[in-house]
C-alpha cells in the first residue's frame, strides 16, 4: 500500500529575495522547522523509500535539513514539475514512481500542496502551512493509479505543535 508524505518547504527568507524566486533560502525559522520534521519522521518510523523535491533552494534545503536532523537517507530526485507544474505536475511525478517505492516524500510549495492533498482525499479544505507534513495512504499496489479521491488522509502535523510538545 503506497504512502505519500507531502512536505511543504520551511519558511523562506524574504529578506534574501533578490528577485530570483528559485534561489530564495530558508529563514532561520524554516531551518529549525525542517529539523523538527526530520526528527519527527525518524522517531515515528516515517522514513521515505524515495523523495522528490522541487528545484527551488528552499525546498531542497528543507529536505536536506530534515534528512540530517532525522539521521535518515533515501533516494532523492529533483523534478521541475514540483516547482511550476501545479497539481497536474505533482500527480505526473507521483505516478512515475516505481511500484517498489512504499513511502514517497514530495517536497514543494503552496498552493499546490494543499490543493493536491484535498484532491487526493476526495475534497474538503486542507491547509499545509510552512514545513507541514501530511500523510496520505492509498489502497492500491502501484503509484500510477494515484488520482482524485484515491487516498485517505492519515494525519497532518506542523512543526510548531511538535516544538511545543518538546518533540
Q: Give the per-residue pLDDT at 144.
A: 96
Digit-coded pLDDT (tens) for 13-36: 877 667 788 989 999 999 999 999
pLDDT over 90 at 115, yes or no: yes
| 8 A C-beta contact, residue 136 and residue 6 | yes
Q: Which domains occur in the chain, in start order?
A: 3-164 (3.40.50.1240)
- Pairing outcome for strands 133-138 and 151-157: antiparallel
Which of the four pLDDT bands, split at 50, 70 and 90, describes residue 141?
A: very high
User: Which tens digits make up the pLDDT trace of 38-64?
Assistant: 999 999 999 999 999 999 999 999 999
Instruction: Output the average pLDDT for the chain.
Output: 95
State how far the Cα of 81 lies from the Cα of 55, in Å rounded to an integer: 9
pLDDT for the residue numbered 38: 98
Neighbours of 72 (CB within 10 A): 15
Q: Would you say 47 and 15 are in contact if contact means Cβ atoms under 8 Å apart?
A: no
Amino acid at each position: 500500500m503506497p504512502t505519500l508524505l507531502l512536505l511543504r518547504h520551511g519558511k523562506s527568507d524574504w529578506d534574501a529575495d533578490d528577485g530570483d524566486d528559485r534561489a530564495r533560502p530558508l529563514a532561520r525559522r524554516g531551518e529549525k522547522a525542517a529539523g523538527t520534521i526530520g526528527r519527527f519522521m525518524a522517531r515515528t518510523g516515517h522514513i521515505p523509500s524515495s523523495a522528490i523535491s522541487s528545484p527551488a533552494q528552499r525546498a531542497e534545503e528543507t529536505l536536506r535539513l530534515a534528512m540530517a536532523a532525522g539521521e535518515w537517507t533515501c533516494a532523492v530526485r529533483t523534478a521541475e514539475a514540483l516547482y511550476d507544474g501545479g497539481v497536474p505536475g505533482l500527480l505526473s511525478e507521483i505516478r512515475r514512481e516505481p511500484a517498489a517505492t512504499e513511502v514517497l516524500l514530495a517536497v514543494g510549495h503552496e498552493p499546490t500542496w494543499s490543493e493536491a492533498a484535498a484532491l487526493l482525499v476526495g475534497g474538503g479544505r486542507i491547509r499545509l502551512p510552512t514545513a507541514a507534513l501530511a500523510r496520505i495512504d492509498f489502497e492500491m499496489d502501484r503509484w500510477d493509479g494515484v488520482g482524485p479521491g484515491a487516498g485517505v488522509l492519515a494525519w497532518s502535523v506542523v512543526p510548531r505543535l511538535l516544538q511545543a510538545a518538546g518533540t
